Amino acid sequence: MAQGAVFVTGGSGFLGQALITALTARGRQVVSFDLAPPRGTAAPKAPGVITVQGDIRDPDSVMRAVLDHGASDIVHLAAMVIPACREKPVLGAEVNMIGHINVLEAARAAGIGPVVYTSSIAARPRPPLDSPANLYGVYKRCCEEISKVYFMDHGVASIGLRPNVVYGPGREIGETAFVTHAMRAAAERKRYAFPFSGAMCFQHVDEVTDIFLRCLDAKPEKPVVSDLTTETNTTDEVIAAIRRVVPDADLIASDTPRMAPSGLDNTPLRTLLGSWARVDLDEGTRRTIAHFRQLTGQ
Ligand SMILES: NC(=O)c1ccc[n+]([C@@H]2O[C@H](COP(=O)([O-])OP(=O)(O)OC[C@H]3O[C@@H](n4cnc5c(N)ncnc54)[C@H](O)[C@@H]3O)[C@@H](O)[C@H]2O)c1
């Protein structure tokens, strides 16, 4: 298929904004589809970006946006996150699962593949009941299974990525936005109390964006679902990394544990992509604090 626009759902969100910035910097035309008004790099007059304000639950809007703008690639990011799915489970199911099907249907009609989409580490079954720990995770798991069936039934290829905690400039909402909030507070010389403790996979947005870009060039022979990393850091290590940049950062650790991911496996992604631009915790912390310092003129 000739190279056309990249259709990015959730283009007004955290990962969407970062991806659109990277895509347009590479000269790609982008169609940003989001319920929320366009902002930042997806702002109405941003060069190389067509914005479509629409609801992923509406099959016609999704189909039209893909076909009318000649998209040749899809990155599907639009979703409701953990607290929103907990509060509004029916809406969460519609947005996260029906929306996913609408995207696959559009991909099928346009002959696009692989569809690159974000699942989540929350999709992994875990104790005590060997199930995802929240409805958001159940919906994400379901999207992975739906994607496999779309490949069997219709040949639509897909790459499902399971991030855990992505941090960096632009991360404002969601249960795991706390790392970014802590780095921002340190940059602004404010006190910050961590809501959780424990080990998690903290990945800087620049690394995750690089993974998206490489996935767009990949040609998987079957549906891929993969963790992004097997590396974890503790919240104490995050605090230490922040204090290496801001030695007197006023950070208060939490004694509320958050369940650590286990059995991580990113072999499918490494097999597909080889390598990508790694950003370790120290470098990611430095970049994030530098961004917030620049914003506040410090
Ligand atoms: N950020 C992370 O750490 C993380 C971790 C795991 C998985 N993910 C997944 O990555 C994706 C992007 O995450 P993010 O952090 O950028 O989230 P975000 O909340 O910043 O962005 C999601 C976007 O989806 C849009 N959206 C919500 N409902 C919609 C609807 N009905 N129609 C159209 N658009 C709608 C929102 O307006 C928002 O702009 C999501 O699928 C999320 O589940 C993110």
What gap in Å lies between CA 48 and CA 24, rounded to an integer?
A: 6
Pocket test for ligand 1, best of 166, 225, 229 (most atoms within 8 A of CB): 166
Is residue 106 within 8 A of residue 74, CB to CB? The reply is yes
pLDDT value of residue 259 = 84
Q: How many CA atoms lie within 13 A of 94 on its CB side?
A: 9
pLDDT digits (tens, 9 = 90+) for 102-132: 999 999 999 999 999 999 999 999 888 999 9
Q: Which pLDDT band holds residue 37 (cuts at 50, 70, 90)?
A: confident
Q: Is 8 in the pocket of ligand 1 (CB under 6 A)?
A: no
Q: Which pLDDT band holds residue 43 (cuts at 50, 70, 90)?
A: low
Q: Is 249 in the pocket of ligand 1 (CB under 6 A)?
A: no
Which domains does the chain show, CATH number per domain? Answer: 1-162 (3.40.50.720)
Q: Which pLDDT band holds residue 270 (cuts at 50, 70, 90)?
A: very high
Does the pLDDT at position 42 exceed 60? no
Average pLDDT for the chain: 94
Of all atoms in ligand 1, which is nearest to the CA of residue 140?
A: 43
Tell me the CA end-to-end span of the chain in Å, nearest whole number: 48
What does pTM read for this prediction?
A: 0.96
Does the pLDDT at position 38 exceed 80? no
Q: Is 286 in the pocket of ligand 1 (CB under 6 A)?
A: no
pLDDT digits (tens, 9 = 90+) for 122-167: 999 988 899 998 999 999 999 999 999 999 999 999 999 999 999 9
Does the pLDDT at position 242 exceed 80? yes
Q: Lowest mean pLDDT of 37-51, 52-66, 76-90, 161-175, name the range.
A: 37-51
Q: Kindly report the protein residue whose alpha carbon is nearest to atom 9 of ligand 1.
A: 118
Pocket test for ligand 1, best of 8, 39, 76, 77 (most atoms within 8 A of CB): 77
What gap in Å lies between CA 217 and CA 175, rounded to an integer?
A: 31
What gap in Å lies between CA 20 and CA 171, rounded to an integer?
A: 15
- What percent of the chain has pLDDT above 90? 88
Does the pLDDT at position 41 exceed 70? no
pLDDT value of residue 32 = 96
pLDDT value of residue 248 = 97
Parallel, antiparallel, or unpaired: how do β-strands 30-34 and 49-53 relate?
Answer: parallel
Of all atoms in ligand 1, which is nearest to the CA of residue 136?
A: 43
pLDDT value of residue 44 = 53
Chain Cα centroid distance, residue 257? 23
pLDDT value of residue 25 = 94
pLDDT value of residue 127 = 86
Mean pLDDT of 22-42: 86
Q: Which pLDDT band holds residue 40 (cuts at 50, 70, 90)?
A: low
79 CA distance to ligand 1 middle (Å): 4
